[in-house]
Amino acid sequence: MKTQRKILATLMGLVLISGCNPRAPGHGVFLLIDTSGTYTEELAKARAIVNFLLGRLGPGDSFGVARIDSGSFSEKDILVRMTFDERPSVANDQKRQFKQQVDDFTSRISSSSHTDITGGMLQGVEWLNEVGPGRKTILVFSDMEEDLAAGQVRDFPIDMMGVDVIALNVTKLRSDNVDPREYLNRLQAWEARVVDGGGTWRVINDLERIEAIMDN
């Protein structure tokens, strides 16, 4: 009888310990901001998205913002990255700092000559895997037109297992207006690339529906 009780107590203890996860799954969001060409004009919208996400992300969540420039697969392009503290008051202070850093960046940004979206995505996946949140999201604030510098190799599959990729504010180029199929083909190509890598793909052009970013 005593042995049975001991076993029961041990099992209950194990159940409690297994249920007691010191690190919550959380949500990791990595925002890539296109800084090439005329897209810099859209940066005010990018700031609004950052502010929205800061309002929605909670303690224990992770948030990173990086720029897409001529060579985005670089630590230097990550502007801010933070895992918010478990205590709500500390997390709020961190968010204020985060906003300040993003504001500073957008006020002194310079346009880049090329657009390395793949590099940025690789950087994002790498960071999210390193942080290890329960839910991983990469937001790409870009027209999704990749323009690589000479010699850059990016035509290889990317492992995006468990990553939700959301393209935001995908503006139409002049050539897209001439032949809309270019725009559709561009998005289809990215979708195929993300889905083949094990991720999911969504496009949100209407920023009034920005709430959908946080939907599962």
Partner 1 sequence: MPSGMLIWPDNPGLSALTWVLLAVVAMYAARAPAHRAIRGFTRVISRSARLLSHSMMQLQGRMSERSREILLQHGMENSDRQIQREFERISTSVSRDLGSYPSLHRKLSDHVTKLDEDYRKSTDTPPDPPGWASALEMANQLVDKAEGDKSVGKAIQALHKGFQEAYDTTMSTYRQQSQERHGMLKRMRPVWKNVDETLIKVDGTVTGILERGQHIDQMMDTYREISGKTDRAERLLGSSALTQFLISGLVLAIACLGGFINFQLIALPMSEMVGATSQLGGMKTSAVAALVIIMVEITMGLFLMESLRITRLFPIIGSMDERTRKRMMWATFGILLTLASIESSLAYMRDLLAADRASLSQVLSGIQASEPEFRWIPAVGQMVMGFILPFALTFVAIPLESFVHSARVVLSHAVEGILRLVAFLFRLIGSLVRYLGDGLVNVYDIVIFLPLKVEELILSGRAVKTATKNADAAAG
Residues lying near partner 1 in the complex (CB under 8 A) are found at 15-16, 19-24, 26, 51-52, 54-55, 58-60, 86-89, 91-92, 95-96, 99
54: Cβ–Cβ under 8 A, 6 or more apart, which residues?
63, 95, 98, 99
Q: What stretch of H or E contains 30?
A: strand 27-34
Q: Which residues contact 134 (CB under 8 A, 6 or more apart)?
A: 24, 25, 26, 27
Q: Produce one character per residue of 61-92: b if its CB has 16 or more CB atoms within 10 Å, e if not.
A: bbbbbbbbbbbbeeeebbbbbbbbeeeeeebe
Q: Count Cβ atoms below 10 Å from residue 1 Cβ, excluding itself.
A: 5
User: Which residue lies nearer to partner 1 by CB, 93 or 126?
Assistant: 93
Rounded to the nearest whole angstrom, what is the least distance from the CB of residue 38 to partner 1 in the complex? 24
The tokens describing 187, both together, are 């998005």
Largest CA distance in the chain: 82
Are 30 and 126 within 8 A, CB to CB?
Answer: no
